[in-house]
Amino acid sequence: MLDRLVLKLLRPVIDRTARGLAQTGLTADQATLAGFGFGALAAALVATGNSEIAVVPLLVNRALDGLDGALARLSSSTDRGAFLDIGLDFIFYAAIPLAFGYCDPGANALAAATLLAAFLGTGSSFLAFAVIAEKRGLKSTAYPSKSFYYLGGLTEGTETVLCFLAMCIWPAHFASIAYVYAALCAITTVTRLIAGWQSFGGDARS
C-alpha cells in the first residue's frame, strides 16, 4: 500500500546513491547478494536474542534491495538478476519470523507459523499473478520500473519492513504483532486472488 509513495519519495536519493556506487564498480547482483548477507545477519541476531541490534543490518538489507534495481537500470537489467532479487527477498521475509520462533519457541512458535502461512498466501498470489501477467504481456503502470508485474496490496514491502522493525524493537510483543500482520496479509491475499480472477477472465490476449 505504501510502496509506491515511498519509492516516489526515495527515488532521487536511490538513483544518486546508485550512480556513486556504480562508479566504484559495484554491480546489481553484488548489491543483491550483499543485501541478503545483511538480512541473514539480522535473522541470526534475532534468533540469538539480539533483536534490537538486528535493526541495523535489517535496514541495510532493505537499502541494498532498493539500490540493486537502480544499479541494474544503470547498466542492463537481466532475468537472472531479477530472479535472484525476488528469490532472496522471499527467503529474507521468511527468515525473520522463523528467527523469532527459534529464539523463544514457547511464546513465539505458533505466531511465527501463522505469519509464515500468511506470507505463503501473499507470496504465492503475488507470483502467480506475475506469471500469468507476463504470459499475457501485461505491464504494471504503478511500478513501470519493475522487471515483472508488481501487484500491490494492503501489505507490501514497506509495511513488512515496518512490521519487522516493530518486532525487533518490542520483541516481547512479537506474537501480537505477528497475528495482526498475518490478518492483514490474509486480506491482501484475498484481494489479489479477486484481482487475478477478474483480470484473467476470458481468453488470453497478447
Q: What is the distance of C-alpha 108 from the center of its chain?
A: 22
Q: Which residues of 54-67 are buried (b: 16+ CB within 10 A; e: fewer)?
A: bbebbbbbbbbbbb
- State the pLDDT at residue 206: 42
Extract the residue ranges of the chain whose pLDDT is less than 50. Answer: 206
End-to-end CA distance of the chain: 28
DSSP annotation string for 187-206: HHHHHHHHHHHHHT-SS---
CB 38 within 8 A of CB 54: no
Residue in this structure with the C-alpha cell 519470523, named with its chain if needed: 97
Please tell me the chain's helix, strand, coil percentages from 3-state DSSP, rounded to the nearest 5.
80, 0, 20
- State the pLDDT at residue 198: 87
- State the pLDDT at residue 199: 83
Q: Let me know if 12 is exposed, middle or buried by CB neighbors in 10 A (0-12, 13-18, 19+).
A: exposed
CB 80 within 8 A of CB 25: no
What's the pTM value of the predicted model, to 2 decimals? 0.86
CB 182 within 8 A of CB 115: yes
